[in-house]
Structure 1
Amino acid sequence: MPIIGLGVYQNYTTRDSVFEALRTGYRQVDSAQAYKNEAHVGQGFRDSGLSRGDVFITTKIISKFHGYESTLKGVDESLARFQFDYIDLFLIHDPFAGAERRLATYKALQEARESGKIRSVGVSNYGIKHLEEIKDAGYEMPVVNQIELHPFCQQRPIVVYCRENGIVVQAYSPLVRGKTDPVFLELANRYHRDPAQILIRWSLQKGFVPLPKSNKHERIHSNLNVFDFNLCDDDMQKLDSLDRGKEGAITWNPVDAP
C-alpha cells in the first residue's frame, strides 16, 4: 500500500481529480460506497492508462448496509461500479451497526477476500473495543484502521493499540479541513512550505498513511510534494502538543459507538 493516498469524499469532479492525481504520481485512491463516486474513480483510473496492479484502490461499506448477505452483494456492486476484477482494500466504514452486524460484515469481507474479489480487509472509525471484538471472535485482525487523525485529534490510545497488533493506521482529514493554527503558520514559514504540506509531513513522520483530499490540481500536486524535507523533533513536538483529544475532532469520529 502506498504511504499517501488521494481522498475523494465530497469530490464532485472525481474523475478529473483521480486522473490528475495518478498523472502526478499518486498510486492510492480512497473511496467509499457512501461517496457515490466509485464509478468515477474507475473511469479516472482507466483514463490514466496505468495498469490495474499499479494503483491501490480502497472502498468501504457503511453501517446502513452491514450484514452478511448485504455485504457480499455490496462487494459485487462496488466491483461493477469500478469495473474492476478486484478491490485492493475493503473497509467497514463505521461501527454503528452493532456487534452482531459488524461481525457478520467482517465475516463476509473475509470470504470475499478468500474468493479473490478483494485483496485485504480493514475497518474505519474503529475504537479499541471494536477491534477487540474482532479478536475475541477468533478472526484475524484487520490490516488497516482508518481514523480521523491530525494534530488536534491524535487518538493516541487507538494508535498504540493498532501498532501493538500490526494494524496500519490511515489518517483521514489530515489537513483538518482547512482549519489553521499559529503553529501551522509558523512552521510553514520556517520550512518555506504551505500549512497542508506541514500537516502531511507530520502525519508521515508519525507513521500514518495520510489521505489528503482536494479537487484543485495545484493542491493535488503540492500535497504530494512532501518527500524532500523533514520536520525536526522540536517541531514535531510542537504539533504533538496541539492534541485536544476527542474535542479536537472535526468529523463524525464514531470511535466510541456502542
Structure 2
Amino acid sequence: MTTQHERELTPGVNVPLVGFGTFLIPDDQTADAVENALAAGYRHIDTAEVYENERGVGEGLRRGLQQAGLTRGDVFITTKLWPQTQDRDKTGAEAARSLDESLERLGVEQVDLYLIHATFGREQRLEQWQALAEAYKSGKTRAIGVSNFNATHIDELIEAGLPVPHANQIELHPWSQKPELVSYLNQKGITPIAYSSLAPLSTWRTAPGHSSGKTQEMRAEGERENSPFKKLAEKYGVTEAQFLLGWGVQNGYPVLPKSTNPNRIRQNLDIFSFTIDDADMEYIRGLDRGAGLAWGEVDPTTHG
C-alpha cells in the first residue's frame, strides 16, 4: 500500500518522497551522515557508483538499521551505473558487473532502484539498459530507471522493444521545471525523481569543480534580501530549503536533499506540515528558466 509520503514506482515498490542524497559527501564521512539520516527518519538513501561513497553508505546503513531497530526492507536504496569506463562506454556485460560491484560495496544483495546515470553512446546505452532489465528479472534490483535522459532517449529504449523505465532522475526545481519532459514521463508512467532541488539557494554546488558562471549568478540572486524564495519561505513559516523541497513534493516528485548537518538533516525531512497555495504555485511556474545547471555548460543528453 502506498502512503501519502510515498510514490509508487511499480506495483509493490514505493519510493519515499523524501530521500537522503549523498552526492559530494566523502566516503569517510558518508557512514555518519547516513546513520544520522536514518535516525532522523529518512527511509530512502541515494548514492551512485561515481560518487565513490557506496562503502560509506553501506556502513551507515548497517549502523543505522541496528540503532533504529529496522530491517533492510525498511529502507529504500538507490544507486546508479556510471555508463563509462576510462574513455569508452561500458558494454552490457560491464554494466552487469558494475551492479554486482555496487552491491558488494553497499553490503546488500539487492537495491531498490538502479539507474543508468547519464546518456552517452546510443548503442551501448541500449546494451546497458538490456543489462538493467536482466538485473530486474533476476531480482538484483526491485526497479530500474534512468537519469538525465530526455524523451528521445527513452523512446529509443521503448522502440528497441526494451522495458519502459520505472523512473527518470533529473534536475527539477523552480528554475528548471522541464514541463514538457515531466508531462511525457507522466504519460509513460515514469516517475520523475528530482535532484538539485535546492539549486536556487546560494550554497548550491559550491564545491571545487561544480561551479559555473550561471551558478555564481544564482548565488548572487539567492543572497538578495528580496529573493522570491526568502519571501515565500517567510510566508509559510519554513526555511528556504523546506519551501523548495515542499514545492517538489507537492508536484509529486521524490526529492533528495543532502546535508551533513544533523539539524538540517532533520529540517529537510520536515516538509509535510504546509501546503503551497494555488496562487503561489502559479507564480512559481513563471520562474522557470529552462535548462538545468547540474552539468555546468555541458548537457549529457547531447552525447550520442
Task: Give the TM bin, normalised by the shorter chain.
Answer: over 0.9
Q: Which residue of 2 is the match for residue 174 of structure 1?
A: 197
Residue of 146, 156, 159 corresponding to 2:182? 159
Q: Residues 148 and 251 of structure 1 are in contact (CA less than 8 Å); yes or no, is this contact kept in structure 2?
A: no
Instruction: Report the counterpart of residue 40 of structure 1 in structure 2.
Output: 56
RMSD of aligned C-alpha atoms? 1.3
Would you say 1:257 and 2:303 are equivalent positions? Answer: yes
In structure 1, the residue matched to 2:228 is 183
Contact conserved, 1:152 with 1:249, CA < 8 A, in 2? no
- Secondary structure of 1:171's counterpart equals strand
Q: CA deviation at 1:209?
A: 0.9
1:100-157 residue CA offsets vs partner (Å, 9 max, x unmatched): 0001001111111111111111000001110100110111200000000100111111
Query: How far off its partner does 1:256 sit?
Result: 3.9
Aligned to 2:254: 209
How many Å separate the matches in 2 of 1:95 and 1:82?
24
Once the two structures are superposed, residues 227-246 of structure 1 have per-residue CA deviations (whole angstroms, 9 ceiling, x without a partner) of 11111111112222110101
Q: Does 1:74 align with 2:88?
A: no
Structure 1: tracts of 5 or more residues without a match: none
- How far did 1:177 drift? 6.4
Superposed CA offset, 1:166-212 (max 9, x none): 00000000000633271101111111111000100100111111111
So what's the TM-score if we normalise by structure 1?
0.96
Match of 1:28 in 2: 44
Letter in 1 for 2:24: Q
Kept in 1, the 8 Å contact 2:46–2:256? The answer is yes
**Matched letter for residue 158 of structure 1:** L
> Counterparts of 1:196 and 1:124 in 2: how far apart (Å)?
23
Could you tell me the percent identity over the aligned residues? 42
Taking the aligned partners of 1:5 and 1:75, their CA distance within structure 2 comes to 21
Counterpart secondary structure, 1:198: helix
Choose which of 55, 60, 69 in structure 1 pairs with 2:75: 55
* Unaligned ranges ≥5, structure 2: 1-14, 203-221
| SS of residue in 2 equivalent to 1:119 | coil
Query: Residues of 2 paired with 1:166 and 1:185: CA distance?
Result: 34
- 1:104 and 2:123 aligned: no
Partner SS state of residue 142, structure 1: coil
- Superposition map of 1:222-237 within 5 A: 222-237=267-282
Residues 104, 8 of structure 1: alpha-carbon distance in 2 compared, 3 angstrom cutoff: same
Does residue 240 (structure 1) correspond to residue 285 (structure 2)? The answer is: yes
Letter of the 1:2 counterpart? P
Question: Aligned residue pairs: how many?
Answer: 256
Correspondence 1:8 to 2:54: no
TM-score (norm 2): 0.81
Structure 2 contact 175–200 (Cα < 8 Å) conserved: no
How much does 1:250 deviate?
4.2
Letter in 2 for 1:72: A
Kindly provide the CA deviation profile for residues 36-56 of structure 1, in whole angstroms up to 9, marking residues without a partner as x: 111111111100122110000
- After TM superposition, give the deviation of residue 255 of structure 1 in Å: 3.4
2:83/2:95 contact within 8 Å kept: no
The residue that corresponds to 2:12 in the other structure is: none
